[in-house]
Amino acid sequence: MEINDTTGKEIVIDIKELYKSFGDNHVLRGVNLEVDRGENVVVLGRSGTGKSVLIKIICGLLTQDEGSVIVLGEDVKNLRARELEALRLKVGFSFQMSALYDSMTVKENIAFPLMRNFKHLTKAEVKKRVDEVLDAVSLIKSRDQYPAELSGGQKKRIGIARTLVLRPEIMLYDEPTAGLDPISSIEINNLINSIKKEFGVSSIIITHDLVCAKVTGDRLVMMFDGVVQKQGTFGEVFDSNDERIKSFYEYNFT
């Protein structure tokens, strides 16, 4: 894997000149982004600027039109099916609407990817790992509940637990606090930070919630019209004369 010249850390995600269009809608227009090992990068921007498309390309759910996406040293576009599956075990994806399997209980939801990918694990080992991550998201009591019986915040945490159970090196969060009340949002923000500390994962957090960005982000990346407009710490990004960045900040806090 490449080393970042500035920080001296390993680069786990390296995106260069990324373009993606859907018909006549040019969503990404030359995005460049690097994520270091153990770093939380928050990608901010208005709806429709291609933030979710960006992380879907990173995990191979979508394919770019041009540019390269190197994840953990692998060029995602050129991977064969089995290689992509192996990479996906190292990249967790937390969906905006949680995407829990509604016909399964919480414990079955979490055990599902484990049992599909590690068939050699015994039932006791699976149970242990499920309980470990449920404990990490503080929802051990909900293990026998169905997704329909959970609140929005609980669903998000279970969704995160389901990706954590595979012990990923990278986490991709798609709008982790969208649709949540302020207290649930704070819980999710704290969870993202504790995952970084406890599991040592690198993360990309897609959001337009500035509180989430400030609390969880080591570095912020501001996107407008499919390109990275500005990046840096929270202070660096919002200490700007750019009208669009200023109005984005003001709308969030007024």
Closest CA to 137 of 168, 162, 109, 172: 162
**How far, in Å, are 20, 65, 132 from residue 227 at the CA level?**
11, 15, 39
The window from 29-37, 91-99, 123-131, 206-214 that contacts other proteins (CB under 8 A) reads 91-99
Count other C-beta atoms under 10 Å from residue 192's C-beta: 24
Burial classification of residue 146, based on how many CB atoms lie within 10 Å of its CB (0-12 exposed, 13-18 middle, 19 or more buried): middle
- In the complex, the smallest distance separating the C-beta of residue 225 from other proteins, rounded to whole angstroms, is 25
- Amino acid in position 36: D
Residue written as tokens 């018909």? 23
Determine if 116 is a binding residue for other proteins (CB under 8 A).
yes
Determine if 3 is a binding residue for other proteins (CB under 8 A).
no
- In the complex, the smallest distance separating the C-beta of residue 116 from other proteins, rounded to whole angstroms, is 4
Residue written as tokens 């400030």? 214
- In the complex, the smallest distance separating the C-beta of residue 93 from other proteins, rounded to whole angstroms, is 4
Determine if 195 is a binding residue for other proteins (CB under 8 A).
no
Interface with other proteins in residues 127-146 (CB under 8 A): none
Interface with other proteins in residues 154-183 (CB under 8 A): 159, 162-163, 166
Interface with other proteins in residues 34-73 (CB under 8 A): 59, 61
